[in-house]
Amino acid sequence: MRWSLILLAIATAAMGQITMSDAQIKKMGIVTDEVHLIKNESVGPFVGFFEYSDRGAKSYTLSSEATVAELMKQTGDTVRKGDAICKIASAELLAQSFELRDIKNRLKLAKAYAKKDALLYKEGVISQRESEKGLLEVLSLQTKAGEIESRFRFAGADTEPKEGMMFTIRSRLNGVIAQAPFKAGEKIDPFVPYLKIADPKAFSVYLKIPPKMISSIRKGALIKDKTGNEIGKISAISSSVDKMSNSATAVATLKNSGAEYRAGTSGEFYILSKENEKWVLLPRVAVTKYKNKEICFVKTAGGFAPKTVEIQKNYKEHVAVKPEGFTPHMRVVTEGIINLKGALSGMGFE
C-alpha cells in the first residue's frame, strides 16, 4: 500500500490528477456516488405521517346515530366493489327503507295508470291535460325514490334490512379500508365519516410545520426524503396552528407510491422552500479537509481529480456546494478518501 501511494503521488504531480486503473480502484476500496443539481433551498427536517389520500377515496357518513352490529372487514383489509364490510342498526335507515318500499309500490301503480291514460288520450277519451297528471305523478315519485336511494348510497348501505333492522354496508369501489369501526357495539355519530375506502396506491404525507416557518413554505413546493429523492409536492398548508402540537399542517401528494410507504408510519422530510441559485448536492462523506480547504475527489476518465468546494448549506446526510466545475451525472468519491488524500502530499491545486 505504501508503494502504491508513492506511485500515486508521482502520477498526481506529473499529470495534475490521480491516475488509477480499475483494478487499483477496486483494490483500494474506492467507491463513488453521483452528484445532484438542485435549484431550491431545503428546509427541515419535518416529521411527516403517511396516510391514504382522499384522492379517489370514498367516505361513508350517516345523518343520524347508528350502532355497529357486526364486522366482516377491518381497517387495512383489501376489498372489491360490493363486498360486505359491516352491518349496522339504524332507526333512520329503517324508516327510510319503509318509505322507499311504499314509494316504489305507488310508483308501480302510477306507471300503470299513466300508461292507461296515454292510451285513453290517444283514443280521444280524455284530454291531454288529464293524461299528463299521471305522468307528473310518476315523475314526482321517481324523484322521491331517487333521493332516498342516494341517502343509502351515501351511507354505503343496502336498501332492504336484514334480520329485522340490520343494514349491510358494502364497498362502493375496489380498494383498501383506510378507516372502519373497531368493534361491534360501537356508536356511529351523525355526519362523522365512519368508513373510508381508499386507493391502495394513493398516499399523502401530513407534515408538522413550526409556526415560524409557515411563511417560507408555499403550495406546489417539492418535498424530498432524507436521502434527497423528490417524492411529491405540497398540495395544501393550513394557516392556523394546532394548540396541542404548536404546529401547522402541510399536506403533500406523492408522485408515486413505493413499496416502502405504509399508512400510519412516519418519516423525516425536507421541503424546497424558495428559488435559489443552482447548487450541487454532495454526500456529506464525500467532502474532506485538505490544507484548510474543503475538497472532494471527482471521478475522471483515467482516475480522480481533487476539487475545492464552497459549502452553502449543511444537511443531515448531504452538503450543498456551489456548482462551478460540476456537471450532471458527475461522480464523487465517498469511500477510500484517505488513500487519495495520501497521494496529494505537497501538491497545491485549484
State the pTM of this model. 0.54
For the stretch 102-120, pLDDT in tens is: 999 999 998 998 888 888 8
At residue 10 the predicted structure's pLDDT band, cuts being 50, 70 and 90, is very low
Asked whether 157 and 94 are in contact (CB, 8 A), the reply is no
Give the pLDDT score at 125: 82
Mean pLDDT of the chain: 82
At residue 328 the predicted structure's pLDDT band, cuts being 50, 70 and 90, is confident
Side-chain-facing half-sphere of 64: CA atoms under 13 Å: 10
For the stretch 190-249, pLDDT in tens is: 888 888 998 887 778 888 888 777 777 778 888 887 777 777 888 888 777 777 777 888
User: What are 124's three cell numbers?
Assistant: 280521444
pLDDT at 99 over 80: yes
User: What are 3's three cell numbers?
Assistant: 508503494
Question: Domains in the chain, please, with CATH?
Answer: 2-39+277-342 (2.40.420.20), 43-55+199-274 (2.40.30.170), 59-198 (2.40.50.100)
Q: What are phi and psi of 55, to 5 degrees?
A: -65, 115
Give the pLDDT score at 67: 92
Give the pLDDT score at 109: 92
Is the N-terminal amide bond of 45 cis, ω within 30° of 0?
A: yes
